[in-house]
Structure 1
Amino acid sequence: MNDKMKSLRMLNMVEEIEDYAILLLDVNGNIENWNKGAARIKGYSAEEVIGKSFSIFHTQADKAIKKPEMLISVARNKGQVVDEGWRVRKDGSRFWGRITIAAIHDEQRNVIGFTKITRDLTEKKLAAEATSQHMNQLEIKNQELEQFVYIASHDLQEPLLTISNFIELLKVEYGHLYDDDAQLYVDFIEDAAHRMRYLIKDLLDYSRIGKTKQTEYINLNELLQHIVNDLDARISATGTQIICQDLPAVKGYRTELRQLFQNLITNAMKFSKKDVSPVIEIAGSRGNSGWEFMVKDNGIGIEPQHTEKIFLIFQRLHNRDEYPGNGIGLANCKKIAAMHNGDIWVESVPGQGSKFYFTVDL
């Protein structure tokens, strides 16, 4: 096949492309030829644009700052220019285009024209803007919710303190007058006040997660050792055995990561089987998306239908008398994992224990 036939086939191929607008411009930026894609994207017929400047596709704002002339000048001097922005169709509607203008040279390297390729990215642009707007709205709503939780929790402290103080006064000054029923009622009130106090504390802790914006590299071996030291009395009382592999140093939020590990460890001790000492294994490995960590226990396990529910705030699976708590610890863990561009999930067999996994990718 000779060069002329190859060139003809190339021209025919370019002509049939419909997803891209491909134009041939002269040295001054006037349109000499274009393909079907250009007609589809820009809305003109070839007869309407041949001989005219490609600036007809630019907005008035672009023309006012002589953007078309600037693009041609850069392409002439540097060989190519790439630009993204709003362009105008024949009917006046706008589309978001990614434009590449490349200079065409003769054998003496003189510029004899330009090729201009335009891709219509309007749908992608609008989708990105909608996503960004939605994320901004979610961020505002989250901030409003966290502020509400923080303020409401603080406002609840005062009446709760009043209730607790008067319970103590009743016990001191009128305790000798109680019959069995009165004592039972007071005990119920006192127990409810205690639960409310811890609930408020948990809510405040939840609202504070993410307030610290400073990341650092954290030696997780040292972090786990501090947690074990703090939990020493509880570990000894329950006969818990903690087996920890050598862990890496990761970039993250120190306080929040400590809270995440501590919640998983204390949960493993809390939800242990009767007459079976807890055994907790902690390991970490490099995964496809950052670091992946596992906290494994030999506890009571979780029914399959509850493995998603447990990460929702205030979701409890057991009677409070049997396993105390407010059902907020794993919700905290999920929020902390999200802070680290990660996720958290569980694999569990009822009666055999659970494996909690979470990822960190900062």
Structure 2
Amino acid sequence: MHTAADPTRLIRMIEEIDDYAILFLDRDGTIESWNKGAQEIKGYRADEVIGQNFSIFYTPEDLLGRKPEKLMDTAMKLGKASDEGWRVGKDGIRFWGSISIKAIYDEGELIGFSKITRDLTDKFNIENAVSKYARELELRNKELEHFAYVASHDLQEPLLTVTSFIELLKEEYAERLDENAEMYLNFIKQSSERMRSMIKGLLDYSRLGRKLEIAEVDCNVLMKEIKEDLFINIKLGHATIIYENLPVVKGYAIELRQLFQNLISNALKFRNEGTDPVVVISAFKIKGGWKFSVKDNGIGIEERFRDKIFSIFQRLHSRMDYEGNGIGLAHCKKIVELHGGEISLESLPGVGSTFYFNLNTDS
């Protein structure tokens, strides 16, 4: 009869384990036992490796640095040694192994070592691929931001020249210009000014997230300051801004101000004719941060446009109806994403819109 602690039974159990390579080594590191997992991971049969030193699994670089000997020394001194790196299987095939070596003593005398190896090649490759993709993405984002910055900065100069010369032309040749010429020049000037506004928006968009400083932001204080900044618009539009008990969050103060101000400004701009604007800002705690909502009673947005509005330079209305360059909500989306969150929208045309966004401010 075998008990649970029967050495023979334990040895058989170890031999049958196929997802871990479990070996026993003598005091010099010579392999004394081999299991299914070892054959699966390293490729050798038991008769091919028993009697050889376990250093055969190490790369030439590790052998040159005496890594096998150092691991055994550490195990003898500390009782256990762990390591992770490239190992060599049969036919020179390499795998990424995580190993643990434990010194075995009998009545205070070292009699050998147990060694456990896991094949983490798939995990290592996935992590490497993710890391490489993240680096490439970061590089491309930097290149894109640099391009946007340079392009928008350099494009402003010729536009400024165009508008300046139009003013000069109108001033110097005022008596020679008929009504049509005056109208054409005004069209050119207005188009140039719109282009400058769009370029400035692109420049601001490219700068978002360049110099980020985390700070504690009291959203109640922030709302008070935004109301002061928008005082004229609020007064002339007979608007009401409602908020209370908003949280103090950790985030990027300048960007958060821009986020809330853009959403509130939009609510004041896209109002229902004959209706005084009402904007309600609220928040509730969620796992990892806060979820905010900015609700208005404006003109609303049709469902087919709800994904489109967060893209850069997307406008749903003509400039005759509403001024702007179609970049404000793209700014909002980017700012929310800088805080690890997402922004979404619920809206009914003619009734109003509610923008929801979460800020992962606890991390």
Letter in 2 for 1:233: I
In the TM superposition, 1:27-176 aligns within 5 A as 27-106=27-106, 108=107, 110-176=109-175
Letter in 2 for 1:199: M
Q: CA deviation at 1:192?
A: 0.4
Q: 1:292: which partner in 2?
A: 291
Given that residues 340 and 360 in structure 1 are in contact (C-alpha distance below 8 angstroms), is that contact kept between their aligned partners in structure 2?
Answer: yes
Q: Please give the secondary structure, in 1, of the residue aligned with 2:32.
A: strand
Q: 1:248: which partner in 2?
A: 247
Structure 1 residues 282-328: Cα deviation after superposition (integer angstroms, max 9, x where no partner): 12222123222221222222223332222111122222222222211
Give the Cα–Cα distance (whole angstroms) in 2 for the partners of residues 246 and 4 of structure 1. 62
Q: 1:213: which partner in 2?
A: 212
1:314 pairs with 2:313:
yes
Structure 1 residues 90-149: Cα deviation after superposition (integer angstroms, max 9, x where no partner): 11121111112223344x354433322211111221222222222222222211221111
Give the Cα–Cα distance (whole angstroms) in 2 for the partners of residues 354 and 136 of structure 1. 38
Q: CA deviation at 1:4?
A: 6.2
Letter in 1 for 2:321: E
Q: Please give the secondary structure, in 2, of the residue aligned with 1:34.
A: coil
Give the Cα–Cα distance (whole angstroms) in 2 for the partners of residues 261 and 208 of structure 1. 18
Q: CA deviation at 1:5?
A: 7.0
Do the aligned partners of residues 77 and 160 (structure 1) sit closer, same or farther apart at CA in structure 2, a change above 3 Å counting?
A: same
Give the Cα–Cα distance (whole angstroms) in 1 for the partners of residues 41 and 209 of structure 2. 46
Q: 1:275: which partner in 2?
A: 274
Give the Cα–Cα distance (whole angstroms) in 1 for the partners of residues 329 and 227 of structure 2. 19
**Which region of structure 1 is more displaced relative to structure 2, 347-356 or 48-57?**
347-356
Letter in 1 for 2:196: R
Where do 5+ consecutive residues of structure 1 fail to align? none
Given that residues 86 and 94 in structure 1 are in contact (C-alpha distance below 8 angstroms), is that contact kept between their aligned partners in structure 2?
Answer: yes
Give the Cα–Cα distance (whole angstroms) in 1 for the partners of residues 112 and 304 of structure 2. 67
RMSD (Å), alpha carbons = 2.0
**Which region of structure 1 is more displaced relative to structure 2, 247-256 or 172-181?**
172-181
Given that residues 2 and 9 in structure 2 are in contact (C-alpha distance below 8 angstroms), is that contact kept between their aligned partners in structure 1?
Answer: no
Q: Please give the secondary structure, in 2, of the residue aligned with 1:354.
A: strand
Give the Cα–Cα distance (whole angstroms) in 1 for the partners of residues 14 and 228 of structure 2. 71
Q: 1:197: which partner in 2?
A: 196
Given that residues 344 and 356 in structure 2 are in contact (C-alpha distance below 8 angstroms), is that contact kept between their aligned partners in structure 1?
Answer: yes
Do the aligned partners of residues 315 and 6 (structure 1) sit closer, same or farther apart at CA in structure 2, a change above 3 Å counting?
A: farther
Give the Cα–Cα distance (whole angstroms) in 1 for the partners of residues 318 and 17 of structure 2. 67
Do the aligned partners of residues 87 and 184 (structure 1) sit closer, same or farther apart at CA in structure 2, a change above 3 Å counting?
A: same
What is the TM-score of this pair, normalised by structure 1?
A: 0.93
Letter in 1 for 2:104: I
The total of aligned residue pairs comes to 361
Letter in 1 for 2:146: Q
In the TM superposition, 1:253-268 aligns within 5 A as 253-268=252-267
What is the TM-score of this pair, normalised by structure 2?
A: 0.92
Q: 2:21: which partner in 1?
A: 21
